[in-house]
Amino acid sequence: MPKVAIVGYGRTKFSTDDIKIESVLLQATKNLFDSTSNLSQKDIGAVLVSTNSNSKYLSPILSEMAGIQPKISHSVESLCNSGTNAIVAAYSYIVSGLAELVLISGAERYDSPGQILEWDNLRGKFKHPIFWASIFSKSYKRKYSLTDEDLALVSVKNHKQSINNPNAISQKAVSIEDVLNSKKLTEDLRLLDCSRPCTGGASILLASENICNKFTPNPIWITGIGQKTTSASFTKNSTFDNMESTKYAAQSAFQMSQQKPENVDVMEIHDAFSVCEPMALDSMGFTAPGKGIELVKETYFSEDFKINPRGGLIGSGHPLGATGISQTIEITQQLQSQADKRQVDHAKVGLVHNMSAAATSSTVLVLEK
Amino acid sequence: MPKVAIVGYGRTKFSTDDIKIESVLLQATKNLFDSTSNLSQKDIGAVLVSTNSNSKYLSPILSEMAGIQPKISHSVESLCNSGTNAIVAAYSYIVSGLAELVLISGAERYDSPGQILEWDNLRGKFKHPIFWASIFSKSYKRKYSLTDEDLALVSVKNHKQSINNPNAISQKAVSIEDVLNSKKLTEDLRLLDCSRPCTGGASILLASENICNKFTPNPIWITGIGQKTTSASFTKNSTFDNMESTKYAAQSAFQMSQQKPENVDVMEIHDAFSVCEPMALDSMGFTAPGKGIELVKETYFSEDFKINPRGGLIGSGHPLGATGISQTIEITQQLQSQADKRQVDHAKVGLVHNMSAAATSSTVLVLEK
Kindly give, in sequence order, each residue whose CB lies less than 8 Å from that of residue B142, ignoring residues fewer than 6 positions away: none
Would you state the pLDDT for residue A121?
66
Cβ within 8 Å, pair A119-B85: no
Tell me the shortest Cα–Cα distance from A166 to chain B, in angstroms: 31
Q: Do A78 and B82 touch (CB under 8 A)?
A: no
pLDDT, average across residues B125-136: 89
Nearest to A60 among B54, B56, B361 (CB): B361
Interface contact A71-B227, CB threshold 8 A: yes
Give the Cα separation of B127 and B116 in Å (integer).
6
What chain A residue is nearest to B86 in terms of C-alpha separation? A74
Residue of B1, B63, B89 lying closest to A229 (CB–CB): B63
Pick among B57, B68, B119 to test the A interface (most A CBs inside 10 A): B57
Considering only alpha carbons, which residue of chain A is nearest residue B75?
Answer: A77
Determine the 3-state secondary structure of B149 from DSSP: helix
Confidence band, pLDDT 50/70/90 cuts, at residue B6: very high
Nearest CA in chain B to A225: B98
Count of Cβ atoms closer than 10 Å to residue A138 Cβ? 17
Confidence of residue B118 (pLDDT cuts 50, 70, 90): confident
**Contact between B78 and A97 using a beta-carbon 8 Å cutoff:** no
Across the interface, of A59, A227, A231, the residue whose CB is closest to B64 is A231
Are B74 and A92 inside 8 Å of each other by CB?
A: no
pLDDT computed for residue B237 by the predictor: 81
| Alpha helices, H only, chain A | 21-35, 58-66, 82-95, 129-144, 148-162, 176-181, 244-257, 276-283, 292-301, 312-316, 320-335
CA distance A44 to A91: 14
- pLDDT tens for residues B333-363? 999 999 999 999 999 999 999 999 999 999 9
Cβ contacts below 8 Å, chain A against chain B, sum to 174
Angstroms from A369 CA to nearest CA on chain B: 21
Q: What is the per-residue pLDDT for B121? A: 66
Cα–Cα distance, A356 to A110 (Å, whole number): 17
Which pTM does this prediction carry? 0.98
Closest CA–CA distance from residue A183 to any residue of chain B (Å) = 29
Q: Measured between alpha carbons, how far is A308 from A353 in angstroms, rounded to an integer?
A: 10
B203 backbone dihedrals φ, ψ, rounded to 5°: -120, 145
pLDDT tens digits, B63-112: 999 999 999 999 999 999 999 999 999 999 999 999 999 999 999 999 99
Q: Is A346 left (phi over 0), alpha (psi -120 to 50) or beta?
A: left
Per-residue pLDDT tens for B220-231? Answer: 999 999 999 999
Can you give the pLDDT at residue A122?
66
Q: Closest CB to B228: pick one of A71, A226, A228.
A: A71
Q: What is the ipTM of this complex?
A: 0.97
CB contact set of B347 (below 8 Å; sequence gap of 6+)? B265, B266, B334, B335, B337, B369
**Contact state of B63 with A232 under an 8 Å Cβ cutoff:** yes
d(CA A63, CA A73): 8
CB nearest to B75's CB, from A1, A78, A233: A78
Question: Rounded CA gap, A84 and A220, in Å?
Answer: 16
Q: Are the Cβ atoms of A113 and B59 closer than 8 angstroms? A: no
Q: Which of A1, A59, A82 shows the shortest C-beta gap to B78? A: A59
Q: Which residues of chain A have pLDDT under 50?
A: none
Q: Which amino acid is at B324?
A: G
Chain B nearest CA to A54, separation (Å)? 6
Q: For residue range B213-259, list pLDDT tens digits in order.
A: 999 999 999 999 999 999 998 888 888 999 999 999 999 999 999 99
Question: Inter-chain contact A75–B71, Cβ cutoff 8 Å?
Answer: no
What band does B122 get if pLDDT is binned at 50, 70 and 90? low
